Amino acid sequence: MDAIISVRGLTHVYSPNTPFEQVAIKDINLDIYKGEIIGVIGHTGSGKSTLISHLNGLIKPAAGTVTFNGENIWKSKEFTHSIRFKVGLVFQYPEYQLFEETVYRDIAFGPTNMGLKEDEIRGRVADAIRFVGLKPDILEKSPFSLSGGQKRRVAIAGVIAMMPDVLILDEPTAGLDPRGRADIINHVKAYNKSTGLSVVLVTHNMEDIAQTVDRIIVLKKGEIMMTGGTSEVFSRGKELEAAGLAVPQITQVANRLFDAGLNISTSVYTVEQLKNELLSLGGARK
């Protein structure tokens, strides 16, 4: 299968030729396929945000290419502009980008820029608000009168309303309570199931990753340090810790049990998996 987004040899340097020169990402290769959920993790400053800003053409690569369905996203100005609607990017703390008088108009900002008709926009806004789990009566309120979590969801709805092929979320759960966190993650998962779009989830939260993604990319100092299936990556807990990351709590529990002498796999990352592992220890149950 062909990748929707392909990244080859991507490098980016901030403030080149000044004392502040900073290599943010270095020689990144990456493919994103249709329908999958990818997790991107990495210590703070490892280049996650920089990487994803390349995927919808916000930053022009200093070296390397980004292609969408095989076409270089920088081939023409119009194409780069149109990519923004196909690759929806939700920024870190997106609630600070709200600006309209009503929630409705804020969510409609993207679709309006796409040049859609009024009816179509109305339908999309209604769908988007439902997908992020908000009630329609919020649409006429001012976005500034909402709570932090609600604002966050409105901002995500603003991107979903563009119906992108790829949805990229930069730390969508940062600063939310456990409930708000689970809500957003579950809605993203459900949205991925129902529409078959690809999702890139950037986060510091290993529990989010464990519950959601099919595949993980680990960044360290601007380079891909590790990539693979969820259990594969989480089974390498020691290396993750060296990179300033952790494994999910349940994996930590499994590791402790393993160290204590139980013969179980340490690549589990959900409660269910650990339960099965423990049960499969065979006859051990009394």
Partner 1 sequence: MIRDITLGQYFPGDTIIHRLDPRVKITLTMLYIIILFMINGPIPYLIMTVFLSVAIYLSKINLRLIFKGLRPILILLVFTTMLNIFYTQGGTVLLNIGFVTVTTHGIYMAFFIILRLILLISVSFVMLTYTTSPIMLTDGLESLLGPFKKLKFPAHELAMMMTIALRFIPTLMEETDRIMSAQKSRGADFETGSILKRAKALIPVLIPLFIGAFRRAEELAIAMECRCYRGGQGRTRLRVLVLDKKDYAVTILTLAVFAISIVMSYTIVWGVITR
Ligand X SMILES: Nc1ncnc2c1ncn2[C@@H]1O[C@H](COP(=O)(O)OP(=O)(O)OP(=O)(O)O)[C@@H](O)[C@H]1O
Instruction: Give the interface with Mg ion as residue ranges (CB under 5 A).
Output: 49
Taking the CA atoms of 10, 173, 36 and 275 in sequence, report the sign of the dihedral they define.
Answer: positive
Instruction: Tell me which amino acid residue 19 is.
Output: P
Instruction: Tell me which amino acid residue 60 is.
Output: K
Which DSSP state fits 4? S
18 binds ligand X (CB under 6 A): no
197 binds partner 1 (CB under 8 A): no
One residue of 24, 89, 103, 169 binding partner 1 per CB under 8 A: 89
Q: Which is nearer to ligand X, 52 or 268 (CB)?
A: 52
| Cβ proximity of 12 and 50 under 8 Å | yes
Name which of 101, 110, 103, 112 is nearest 160 in CA terms. 110
Q: Which is nearer to partner 1, 154 or 240 (CB)?
A: 154
# chain residues binding partner 1, by CB under 8 A: 27
- CB of residue 96 to partner 1, shortest distance in Å: 6
Name residue, tokens 């396929």.
Answer: 33
One residue of 39, 47, 88, 248 binding ligand X per CB under 6 A: 47
One residue of 17, 44, 119, 178 binding ligand X per CB under 6 A: 44
- CB of residue 116 to ligand X, shortest distance in Å: 32
Q: Which is nearer to ligand X, 6 or 50 (CB)?
A: 50
The phi and psi torsions of 259 (rounded to 5 degrees) equal -60, -30
Instruction: Tell me which amino acid residue 73 is.
Output: I
